[in-house]
Amino acid sequence: MPACGAGFQPALVLTLAILAILLTLPGCGRKGDPLPPQIRRADATRDLTVFQEGPEAVLSWSYPSMTSAGGPLPDLEAVEVWRAPIPLGQEPLGATAEDRAMRGRLLEAQGERIALLGSAGLDDATRGPALSLRDDLDAWRAVHGAEQPVVLWYAVRTICCGGRPSEYSNIARLVPQLPPPAPQDLVARPEREGIRLSWLSTGNTTTIVERSGDGQEWAAVTAEPVTVPEYLDARAQQGRQWSYRLRAVGKTDGEGRVVGEPGPVVAVDYPDLYSPAPPTELVCLPEETRISLRWQVARDAAGYRIERRVGGDDWQMLVELHDRAEFADEAPPVGALTYAVRAVDAAGNRSEPAECTALQGITR
């Protein structure tokens, strides 16, 4: 007879083989080295910009919203704003890691924190999805003087997670200059298409056109400065008084700009005397027992006057003031039909007609 247990040797060998394989697998049977705790901090700002407006430096950057690991930032505590005067011509402007590290050391050695935006400060500085801060350059000159030309470096740091600061942002550069004088002889003339502005430029500058109406704050009417000494404000509403003023924009070192103080204010009445633009793309579509009209919405239209005539007969008004850019003539007469659609503005001014034709009940 075989020895006791001899019949179980193959099973024992298989079991031992499986245990050996499991012991060689990563993480099986033993714990790995403990991972260091993840230190959460805010991501560094990368889009800080600065330009000069009158005697102030205007900084702008995106509202902090991410951690350095790419996650959301739910516990923003504050934002630091730093400024450092660097002698002009002595900046390390290279793109290597060593250059960036040198700029960081120079910022900390030469700079100072000029603002700490806490909860209330962040609310005051918020402009939509961005933060904005103004630095008084006259006050800085009064304290530090200006013995030699300098470039001002600006940077920001985000503080979160129990007082932990982020890395410094990109450095925004500004070479302070005397702002250019405002453009002269501004003239505003109301026209059918809008209010046309013209002026005399001052030197090699571009122009910011600002508008205000009914006590509203001043706001630029274009995203970028105007490069020619005239502008048509086609978005000014009729039936109101508008005020305009101009600022000259000069170039500073690099891609920077300096914006001058605003010039004299010019007010202009824009009476609602001009008819709106006529409807476009008007079509007449016969549909069994009715005719459908469709057209594109006309700018400044409060409604549409719709007329019809048969052959060479007189015009018949169908609707005095229709509120949509479509109309169905449910009971058209037999014959060759012509439809006219006029845009009507809030003051009752009518546009030139847009016309289309259709045949009703006639076999070609």
pLDDT of residue 255: 65
26 in a structural domain: no
19 in a structural domain: no
Q: Which bin fits 127, alpha (ψ -120 to 50), beta or left (φ > 0)?
A: beta
Amino acid at 125: A
- Kindly state whether residues 193 and 153 are assigned to the same domain: no
pLDDT of residue 28: 46
Region 296-302: mean pLDDT is 90
Q: Is 8 helix (H, G, I), strand (E, B) or coil?
A: helix
- Kindly state whether residues 83 and 163 are assigned to the same domain: yes
pLDDT band at 2 (very low <50, low <70, confident <90, very high): very low
For residue 219, give the H/E element and its range: strand 219-220
pLDDT of residue 262: 95
Number of structural domains in the chain = 3
- Kindly state whether residues 170 and 54 are assigned to the same domain: yes
pLDDT of residue 1: 44
- Kindly state whether residues 56 and 102 are assigned to the same domain: yes
pLDDT exceeds 50 at position 177: yes
pLDDT of residue 8: 44
> Quick one: how far is CA 98 from the chain centroid?
35
List helix spans (H) across the chain.
9-24, 97-110, 119-125, 137-144
Global pTM value: 0.66
10 in a structural domain: no
- Kindly state whether residues 257 and 291 are assigned to the same domain: no
CATH number of the domain within which 209 lies = 2.60.40.10
| Domain encompassing residue 343 | 280-360
